[in-house]
Amino acid sequence: MKKFYTLLFFAITASFSAQFEGTWKLAQAAGALAVGPNQGDGSWWSNSLTDLTARDCLFDDSLVFDNAGNFTHYMDGNTWLETWQGAASDQCGAPVAPHDGSGSYTYTFTNNQLTVNGTGAHIGLPKVTNSGELSAANPPAVPTSITYEIMMSANSDTMTADINFGGGWWRFIYQKTSLATNPPAFYNVSLEVHTDLITSVSPDGMYAGGGALGGNNAVALSDANGDGVWTGIASFPEAGGHYTLLNGNCPDWSCKEDISGQPCADPSNYNDRLLPALTADTTLVLQYGSCDTPGTGIDEINKLFSVYPNPASDIVTISADRDVKAITVYNMLGNKITTNNVMSNSTVLDIESYTNGLYFVEIIFKDGTSTNSRFIKK
């Protein structure tokens, strides 16, 4: 009997280790890197789709786990550096020891925890450890092992690694390089920004930027006929994302609109606006500095229904002013979580098993129209 249990133990251990065998890279998606106050909460910062290019030296690094418990970190002579490592600025550059992949590393995986062993061994970002973030000011000793909380997808091709560094949680999402990935979908969002509530428009003009769009002047708006309505076309990922409006071209963001305290402002993300998940090109009619849009914008549409409580931990109720045909939930990466056929004006979603974080809801009404909203699982 003892021999049987010993064989069973080794079989289970081998099964768990087999999930890691192979080569992994950071998911080519927004939110593959995220940090926030709680596990799965990326409200403090998460990478945008533009970071896939700006930080391509990090997104092409490879993690290799073999069946003998060895771990190799390939950086191909170029990775993402931060100022605490001695770089002049946060930028791509030659890896800095001991986080340069030159060590002899091993790994173990038990009880849904991955531990990488060896000075400098890490996944995600090298500064993140179990006892804090490494920094240039009074830097702590580089640990000889780091442990991550692991969630694997059903087919074991996506690995979500969470780590509590003491002041919050980082999340790193990896995918096996053998996984066939589709390029992220983008949609054109036509912006119509009304400026009649402000005294004057900057000589530099109006812009949309930040979040999913990029820098402060990512999308230049124009008012060719001088009617005070500034227009432009922004390219948003399928998952939507944060953005803001700016009266002028200010790299320090000092000229961005102030909508703090209003319903369309996200206080966890610099009081930016948030565009929910998209399924087609759309138009947003916005009022600069206000959530009360002058036309049929997304905020007016959202008045037709309610999602509560929000945040929620176990159930979310969706009530509308007319019958709903179907409700689809997406995670912050734009991946579909579930679709419910409803045929009523009120339904309850069971979200108890969901990972903490932000989710988008696509609501299709019985008359064929649709809209989007969001909720937070806590």
Tokens of 323: 């019958």
The DSSP annotation for 286-348 comes to EETTBSS-SSS-HHHHHTTEEEESSSBSSEEEEEEEEEEEEEEEEETTS-EEEEEEEEEEEEE
Give yes or no for residue 12 having a pLDDT over 80.
Answer: no
pLDDT 10s digits, 41-61? 888 888 888 888 889 999 999
Instruction: Report which of 174, 166, 123 is spatially closest to residue 145, judged by C-alpha positions.
Output: 123
pLDDT 10s digits, 71-83? 999 998 899 999 9
Q: Is the dihedral of CA 104, 59, 243, 301 positive or negative?
A: negative
- What mean pLDDT, rounded, does the chain reach? 83
User: 């533009």: which residue's tokens?
Assistant: 50
Instruction: Report which of 282, 274, 351 is spatially closest to residue 310, judged by C-alpha positions.
Output: 351
Residue 211: per-residue pLDDT: 83
CATH of segment(s) 304-377: 2.60.40.3080
Give yes or no for residue 300 having a pLDDT over 80.
Answer: no
Q: Please compute the mean of the pLDDT values over residues 295-312 and round it to a whole number.
A: 59
pTM listed for this prediction: 0.50
Q: Please compute the mean of the pLDDT values over residues 185-210 and round it to a whole number.
A: 90
Overall fold of domain 2-176? Lipocalin (2.40.128)
Domain boundaries, the chain: 2-176, 186-300, 304-377
pLDDT 10s digits, 325-372? 888 888 766 677 888 887 777 788 888 888 877 787 888 877 777 777
CA–CA distance, 376 with 378 (Å, rounded to integer) = 6
Please tell me the CATH superfamily of domain 186-300, with its number: Immunoglobulins (2.60.40.10)
Same fold for the pair 186-300 and 304-377: yes
From residue 324, alpha-carbon distances to 165, 171, 314, 374 in Å are 43, 35, 21, 16
